[in-house]
Amino acid sequence: MILVADSGSSKTDWMGYSNGEIIKFNTQGINPYFLNEQEITTIISKNEVIAPLVDSVSEIYFFGAGCSSPDKHEVVSNGLSAIFKNAFISVEHDLLGSVYATCGDTEGLNCILGTGSNICYFDGKKIHDGHHGLGYVLGDEGSGTFFGKKVLLSYLYKKMPSDLQAEFEKAFPVEKEQIITNIYQKPFANIYLAGFSRFMADNQEHPFIQEILRKGFQEFVDTNVKDYPNYKSLPCHFVGSIAYYYQNTLKSVLAENGIETGKILQKPIEDLFNYILNKEGIIKEVN
């Protein structure tokens, strides 16, 4: 069996193929900046779908957030190897998985707008390293964490319109002290902050939310996309829930900046899975 995984900080999407059969399942996000080898092994071992498949898995192609250096590759690889003892394991950055899902083998810009944000240029053969992807403290413009922080601050600073203020209090009945504790004293503050961005989904047509979205996407464009001199001549692809659910506003901002919108995928896993299996000569496409 071949397993392909696409992992963010919040969740990992898995697809497997063996003898014409396809399986799909999810686990907690596996990011080596937040988890060690043992914790990764524990996450995998607790999944009921994986347990009966362990000995039959021969290859794993893992693409994950935080897997941007050899030492981080090793953390994930060792964590997986402890469970899948018979498997060849390849660990790559989630940007590469996103590139395979969107660009395939053609030139383009590839952006991630999910819990975090990132961008890269793909020349059709390899990714060219940039200086983006600085994480939620320094960067992550246009991400779920970025927008969650904007929404939360507008509420705490009483800058949110009264009608939205009332709706926010119903959706998130939390006190300031609890918010501060979760952000500064508990793990996964980025995921916690990103949770507040969900408030925008039911209110995205509200002028106040529209302004937050447009400014956030414009900041992503100014800081990330426009950093590439040829950005107007390339398709700009996106992967992630933020890009997917707010794509109308995103497309509008891109058009205003003369940027060609490429693919917008909520999750790259199916397109990535098809790409890997096709490259391996196993099957042309999986639905």
Is there a single domain that holds both residue 228 and residue 157? yes
Q: Tokens in use for 23? A: 């399986």
Section 67-93 average pLDDT: 93
State how far the Cα of 285 lies from the Cα of 76, in Å rounded to an integer. 28
Answer whether residue 127 is part of any domain: yes
pLDDT of residue 134: 67
Is there a single domain that holds both residue 118 and residue 221? yes
Cβ–Cβ < 8 Å for 286, 254: no
Section 122-141 average pLDDT: 79
Answer whether residue 287 is part of any domain: no
Share of the chain above pLDDT 90, in %: 68
Count of domains for the chain: 2
State how far the Cα of 225 lies from the Cα of 250, in Å rounded to an integer. 13
State how far the Cα of 168 lies from the Cα of 196, in Å rounded to an integer. 9
Provide the residue range defining the domain that includes 25: 2-99+268-279
Predicted confidence band of residue 188 (pLDDT cuts 50, 70, 90) = confident
Phi/psi for 270 (5° steps) reads -70, -45
Answer whether residue 159 is part of any domain: yes
Predicted confidence band of residue 108 (pLDDT cuts 50, 70, 90) = very high
Task: Return the ∠ at Cα 123 (arms to 119 and 129), rounded to 5°.
Answer: 45
Nearest to 201 by CA among 171, 177, 224: 171
Section 262-266 average pLDDT: 96
**What pTM does this model have?**
0.81
Q: pLDDT at residue 281 above 80?
A: no
Cβ–Cβ < 8 Å for 115, 10: yes
